Amino acid sequence: MLTKTAVTDDQVVALLAPLGEVRRVAPLSGGLFACVLRADLDDGRTVVVKVTGADTSRLLRYEHGVLGTEAEADRLAHAAGLPVPRVLHVDTTRDHVDGDALVTTFLDGDLWRKLESAPGLDDASAARARRSLGALMARLHRITGDRFGYPAPEASLTAATWPEAFAGMLDAVLDDAARWGVDLPTERLRTAVARHHDLLATVTTPRLVHADLWQGNLLLDPVEHTVVGAIDAERALWGDPVFELVGADQLGAGAVDADLLAGYRDAGGDLGVGDGTPGAGDPAAWHRLRLYRAYYACLLVVEIVPRGYAGDWVPGYERTARANLLRVLDELGV
């Protein structure tokens, strides 16, 4: 089972010494394999400390170097004026903690996931939140790079073209599956990617994709219920903006939310899937979306084993991810 690195208050004090004196340290919830803490400084600032463990033996291939990925994505997005944490400090020396550490500003706002069942988040508020998320995505995707794939050198998953990078990403998760004894329809997956090589090749500009913009990583304004913060950019990659739709609806396999797409269009973007109804818009965009849904479903199924997920929710979660995988492969005709 993947365990989080234990971090003491004294270690946090030493780690944050370049930023100032620490007044209080408290744990934050949400991280699945990183230790996440909140620290209040004497000068009134509150910062977030994230530490990933030095033991990488139970990570999936793309997860190697994710702290550097998060730092790079946050720096670029913050420079573009997006509501993401500002990177304050990165420490990979392991002098103070047993792992790599990232320190960022603390973002105010209400976690969207916790508001979903609250009386304040009615249908109109939820639609407004989804539209603002679409606008944030469109702004994020204006940031371009010079390589496709996962940026961390430790993962070795970048390439000059999107078809090459995406094929490498798929090969990596299939290798992970074999390593952890997880059964996947390997040949169907490889056939789907190979058959759609030319379609993937129409994506010629690497764009920054957060790839994890679900409600657990989004903060809303408590009054307006618009997105005021996006956190945990560990899965970020350079690729096709359509990939973003999968990270925002990770167990989805059908329609795309119309409000989200409207917000994306209002911000000047177009993902090519029309109003989100399957079959609307550009068929090529839908085929690419199905490929990305298949890949993401593989990630969700495989990570269950090394992370040691447990609980009543796990069987249903895995069944849904597997059913989605088979569904989109059928829709791709492989």
Q: Tens digits of per-residue pLDDT, 139-164?
A: 999 999 999 999 999 999 999 999 99
| CB contact at 8 A, 271 and 285 | yes
How many Cα atoms sit within 13 Å of 17 on the Cβ side?
7
Query: What is the extent of the structural domain holding 152?
Result: 110-331
Asked if residue 199 has pLDDT above 70, the reply is yes
| Token digits of residue 226 | 């618009």
The answer to whether residue 23 scores a pLDDT higher than 90 is yes
pLDDT at 31: 59
Q: Does pLDDT of 118 surpass 80?
A: no
Tell me: pLDDT of 215 over 90.
Answer: yes
Mean pLDDT calculated for residue range 226-253: 97
User: How much is the pLDDT for 34?
Assistant: 83
Is the pLDDT reported for residue 115 higher than 90? Answer: no
Q: What is the pLDDT of residue 30?
A: 59
Beta strands in 87-242 (DSSP E): 87-91, 99-105, 110-111, 148-150, 157-159, 207-209, 218-220, 227-230, 237-239
- Is residue 23 situated within a structural domain? yes
Cα dihedral sign, 89-93-95-101: positive
62-107: pLDDT as tens digits:
999 999 999 999 999 999 999 999 999 999 988 999 889 999 999 9
Q: Residue 89: which residues within 8 A CB-CB, separation 6 or more?
A: 15, 16, 18, 19, 101, 102, 103
| Non-local CB neighbours of 235 within 8 Å, separated by 6+ positions | 62, 66, 69, 210, 211, 212, 247
> How many residues in the chain?
334
Per-residue pLDDT tens for 52-65?
Answer: 887 888 999 999 99
Per the structure, the count of domains in the chain is: 2
DSSP for residue 43: T
The answer on pLDDT for 1 being more than 60 is no
CA atoms within 13 A on the CB side of 295: 26
Domain of residue 42, CATH code = 3.30.200.20
Residues 93 and 129 in one domain: no
pLDDT classification of 32: cutoffs 50, 70, 90: low
Residue 194 sits in the same domain as residue 80: no
Residue 44 has pLDDT above 80, yes or no: yes
CATH number of the domain to which 138 belongs: 3.90.1200.10
Residue at which a domain ends, from 105, 124, 155: 105
- Per DSSP, 48 falls in state E
Last residue of a domain, which of 105, 134, 151?
105
Six-digit token string for 97: 């903690």
Please state the rounded mean pLDDT for residues 1-19. Answer: 84
Outline where 39-185 has alpha helix (H): 66-79, 112-115, 123-140, 162-180
Residue 40 CA neighbour count, 13 Å, CB half: 5
How many C-alpha atoms does 84 have within 13 Å on its Cβ side? 28
The arithmetic mean of pLDDT across residues 173-201, rounded, is 98
